[in-house]
A and B are shown apart, each in its own frame.
Chain A
């Protein structure tokens, strides 16, 4: 299984029926394809609506209905549109149950860096800073390393998106939870070992006594 698919599938299992979820651009968007049957997840699009649906069929795009990346989407029955201040009131106000984002770096304290690389890449934070601070649960969906280099660090070196807000990290190698008592490895992928994870993880983590296998 493609690693992006594995990650997206695992993240999707974390939702509860009725959750309001905001998915970031890129791999997090794939999560929508793997929501388990019988679970209804309400997707929020920060540019101003809830109950976002799938990409429209070719020729049926509506330029007024786009996602936060400006790409055509659809809305499902029961959708609602609103302005940007309301949208971010929903986000900061704790009405979003979970947000799924990518990361350039994350550390064992739950600090996240995903919006700029000084001197190289300065796209801007968009809505990420508000989402990470406001959502009840912050889930990172990310590849474990960047070209073999650890992304899960002791301490982020890039400018932060938010401080101590990350709750969970899902990579192709496993699932981590960040708690006030430290970072825990809760699940491990079937094709790796704890030693292999340690080799590519700079952060210190505790292996859960009841370590589970991350199902594909």
Chain B
């Protein structure tokens, strides 16, 4: 069975209320074609897990502006004033998570770990409601794994078996989100034949990828 599908076919897995992970750092590494497809489809009440909400007209920012997000986990929302406004008006339920903790929670979610201990956030509001543990005089917070129903990732080069190579700083949250969702859809900037990516250079093994959409 071919993993390469149309945009429409791939996005049928994202419905009203679906939990979605989308990578990208101010848009770098974000699957723009898939995001534009979601804006077009106008699915609502999404629970979005991402590191930042970019700018209003960039990447993930477009989903915010279009009013499609009900719940948001992110580390930074300051560059998109719409996120802050909607949070203050009670339209989006925002949880801010330290970036390293967010990355590790996703990694744990994909790696079968029950959680992990981090010193980040001790003595701050981040520790509220979390179990604290001390070892050798140092305090840690117990952080739990994160998973999603769907991850939308973006590869620079993707072969038809779903093996992915990411260019430069676009890797960011892609590799871990690709392991932490029930359905993983990759947008290929460049779709290549199997064998064109040297197995040594595969960053996301194709076994994690369910569907491939050619990016525009």
Contacts and interface: CB of A to CB of B under 8 A. Distances in A.
A64 B168 contact: yes
Nearest to A71: B26
B156 A64 contact: yes
B108 to A, nearest CB: 9
B167 interface: yes
B28 A122 contact: no
A92 B28 CA distance: 23
B56 interface: no
Given A47-B172, A92-B120, A122 B75 contact: no
Given A84-B51, A92-B100, A127-B99, A70 B173 contact: no
A111 to B, nearest CB: 8
B103 interface: yes
15 contacts: A46-B99, A70-B25, A70-B55, A84-B100, A84-B173, A85-B175, A121-B78, A123-B78, A125-B98, A130-B99, A133-B119, A159-B125, A160-B123, A162-B122, A163-B124
Contacts, number: 141
A47 to B, nearest CB: 4
B119 A87 contact: no
B79 interface: yes
Contacts of B25: 47-48, 66, 68, 70
Contact of A124 (B75, B104, B168): B75
Interface of A: 45-49, 62-66, 68-70, 75, 81-85, 87-88, 91-92, 111, 121-130, 133-134, 159-164
Contacts of A121: 78
B79 A85 contact: no
Nearest to A69: B26
B122 A163 contact: yes
A66 B28 contact: yes
A81 B78 CA distance: 25
A84 B172 CA distance: 5
Contact of A129 (B26, B121, B175): B121
A87 B28 contact: no
B13 to A, nearest CB: 24
Contacts of A84: 51, 99-100, 103, 171-173, 176
B33 interface: no
Interface in B149-193: 156, 167-176
A88 B75 CA distance: 13
B87 interface: yes
B204 to A, nearest CB: 10
Interface residues of B, number: 47
Contact of B99 (A65, A66, A126): A126
Contacts of A83: 103, 171-176, 203
Contacts of A133: 119-122
A85 B103 contact: yes
Given A83-B175, A129-B98, A92 B118 contact: yes
B77 A123 contact: yes
Given A122-B77, A130-B98, A64 B27 contact: no
Interface in B195-215: 203
A81 B98 contact: no
B3 interface: no
Given A64-B156, A81-B171, A126 B76 contact: yes
B62 to A, nearest CB: 15
B137 to A, nearest CB: 13
B107 interface: yes
A63 B28 contact: yes
